[in-house]
């Protein structure tokens, strides 16, 4: 895909949604860490239902430690892998207290060192909480980047590198939100909603699809 197409795609997505945000509900950076940790292999909607049960009285690492693994399990048992996630969430809270004074660090290495926190989670926190230009490549971003030919790659690391390289600088801060939302609601895994797509004209998948469709007429 040429740079002009990429620029038009992100400019169009920007006009359609000028201030994109994560759909996870949180009140501070610590709650964001927990919400993203819980979201692995689970929908944001399901995570929000679970966190509404305990976020009103758990908004610091110390409060999470005081809650404990067993009680946290009771609050999040409706989401997948809840036992392991509860263990990691409490362990992450302990590490924040022991190593960072109870504050979420604006540092990739420190974030990735937290139990249950990988590169994708760190990218979300760095972007959402600290305004860093990062790409959290989840299944939606991976699909959209490959399908549209924005930044095709065989794995999430390759896609992330290409997105960071090829995304116009003025769109970097919000780009991963646009791609996540686009993949979640429009460029879905099965039967993408091309007729509703605001970037249809510049999408290379749509162009190939249009050619195929026309060839069958």
* Mean per-residue pLDDT of the chain: 93
- Using only C-alpha atoms, the chain has a radius of gyration, in whole angstroms, of 19
Q: Is 157 a catalytic residue?
A: no
Q: Is 120 a catalytic residue?
A: yes
Cβ atoms of residues 147 and 205 within 8 Å: yes
Kindly write down the DSSP assignment for every residue of 75-104, as one continuous string: HHTTSTTHHHHHHHHHHHHHHHHHHHTTPP
| Distance separating alpha carbons of residues 79 and 137, to the nearest angstrom | 21
Check pLDDT > 70 for residue 217. Answer: no
pLDDT digits (tens, 9 = 90+) for 162-171: 999 999 999 9
pTM: 0.88
Domain ranges in the chain are: 3-19+135-215, 29-130
One of 5, 120, 162, 213 is an active-site residue; which one?
120
* pLDDT confidence of residue 209: 58
Query: Looking at the domain 3-19+135-215, which fold is it?
Result: Endonuclease Iii, domain 2 (1.10.1670)
| Distance separating alpha carbons of residues 44 and 32, to the nearest angstrom | 12
Q: Which CATH code fits 29-130?
A: 1.10.340.30
One of 5, 85, 138, 202 is an active-site residue; which one?
138
In terms of phi and psi (left: phi > 0; alpha: psi -120 to 50; beta: otherwise), the region of 8 is: alpha
* pLDDT confidence of residue 205: 84
pLDDT digits (tens, 9 = 90+) for 52-89: 999 999 999 999 999 999 999 999 999 999 999 999 99
Token digits of residue 167: 């995304």
Cα–Cα distances (Å) from 154 to 120, 143, 161, 162, in that order, read: 16, 11, 12, 11
């Amino acid at each position: 895909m040429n740079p002009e197409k990429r620029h038009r795609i992100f400019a169009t997505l920007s006009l359609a949604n000028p201030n994109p945000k994560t759909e996870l509900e949180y009140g501070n950076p610590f709650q964001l860490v927990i919400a993203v940790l819980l979201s692995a292999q689970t929908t944001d909607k399901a995570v929000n239902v679970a966190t509404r049960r305990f976020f009103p009285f758990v908004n610091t690492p110390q409060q999470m430690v005081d809650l404990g693994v067993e009680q946290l399990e009771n609050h999040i048992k409706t989401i997948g892998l809840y036992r392991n996630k509860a263990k990691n969430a409490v362990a992450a809270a302990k590490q924040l207290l022991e190593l960072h004074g109870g504050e979420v660090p604006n540092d990739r290495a420190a974030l990735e060192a937290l139990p249950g926190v990988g590169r994708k989670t760190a990218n979300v926190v760095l972007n959402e909480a600290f305004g860093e230009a990062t790409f959290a490549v989840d299944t939606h971003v991976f699909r959209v980047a490959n399908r549209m030919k924005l930044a095709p790659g065989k794995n999430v690391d390759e896609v992330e590198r290409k997105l960071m390289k090829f995304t116009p600088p003025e769109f970097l801060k919000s780009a991963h939100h646009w791609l996540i939302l686009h993949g979640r609601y429009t460029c879905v895994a099965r039967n993408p909603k091309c007729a509703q797509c605001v970037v249809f004209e510049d999408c290379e998948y749509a162009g190939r699809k249009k050619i195929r469709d026309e060839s069958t007429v």
